[in-house]
Amino acid sequence: MKADTILVLGSTGKTGRRVAQRLAARGVDVRHGSRSGTPSFDWADRSTWAAALEGVQGVYISYFPDLAVEGAADDIQAFTDLAVQCGVRRLVLLSGRGEMEAQHCEDIVRNAGVEWTLLRASWFAQNFSEAHFLEPVLAGELALPVGAIGEPFVDADDIADVAAAALTDEGHAGQLYELTGPRLWTFADAVAQIASATGRPIRFTRVTMDEYVAALEAAQLPPDVIGLIRYLFTEVLDGRNASVQDGVLRALGRQPRDFGDYVRATAATGVWTPAVEESAPSF
């Protein structure tokens, strides 16, 4: 499949961007599936799907904002049906651990009638540096409605390595890879690791769900986004996923990257160092 065109959905996101880079490095013709791509792709506009799928043999499917949201399964079903009609031969779906709704979407891809690979990932390490938690970390405090629950944070680079292999190499069809890091970290432990690596006073604070929702409402987040966040913290982070799995090892023949290694490498980039405002000179 290395000479074929592969559509990468969410190619500007945390995993899609990395998948596209790896495929390009392998000499693959990559089609970027985003609203800024050519042709454009928008999950919310089904009229954009056919053009994005034309002449494509493989697809990396990442769904925004999450497979757990209302309507996701309908979109995955419609997209998968269209992809097969357009001649797509291989589908790789990014899924989530502990989400019944995501597993429904997995079943849709599994039953599509073409080669499939399912990537069921834990929480991304990069959430601390490229997304939701970056601003609070820079501010010196990450407050979340979660207790001492262990999470095996997975590196987005590992997800991308597995996805690229599944899209281009043989031996991955029909596989469910549960992708995690090599050990469990509480959120308090994770923040303490970042504080140690940066030499900055960063603390983790546990808040109630009601307090967290009130803060999200004060920040004027849309109700559907708040509902998704509530779901993730009350359902997915209830301890059901506090286990390490061997998906990266099975897919790549190597151990996954440890969260501590991610923290040290990321701290060296300066992303967790707040910008220092220049003061006016005094005369």
User: CATH number, domain at 252?
Assistant: 3.40.50.720
Cα–Cα distance, 156 to 124 (Å, whole number): 6
The structure's pTM equals 0.94
Give the percent of the chain with pLDDT over 90. Answer: 84
pLDDT on residue 2: 46
Q: How many domains does the chain have?
A: 1
* Mean pLDDT, range 96-110, rounded to an integer: 94
Bridge partners of 9, per DSSP, are 33
In a domain, 186, yes or no: no
Expressed as residue numbers, the domain containing 55 is: 5-122+154-179+243-256
Distance set, CA 236 to CA 149, 230, 233, 241, 262 (Å): 11, 10, 6, 7, 23
Q: What average pLDDT does this structure show over 119-123?
A: 97
Mean pLDDT across the chain, nearest whole number? Answer: 94
Please report, in angstroms and rounded to a whole number, the separation of the first and last CA atoms in the chain. Answer: 67
Indicate whether 39 belongs to any domain. Answer: yes
Question: Does residue 88 fall inside a structural domain?
Answer: yes
**139 pLDDT above the threshold of 80:** yes
What single DSSP character describes residue 97?
T
At 188-234, the pLDDT tens digits run 999 999 999 999 999 999 999 999 999 999 989 889 889 989 988 88
pLDDT at residue 132 is higher than 80: yes
pLDDT for residue 276? 64
Number of residues in the chain: 283
Residue 245 phi/psi, 5° resolution? -120, 170
What is the reported pLDDT for 98? 84
How confident is the model at residue 3, as a pLDDT?
56
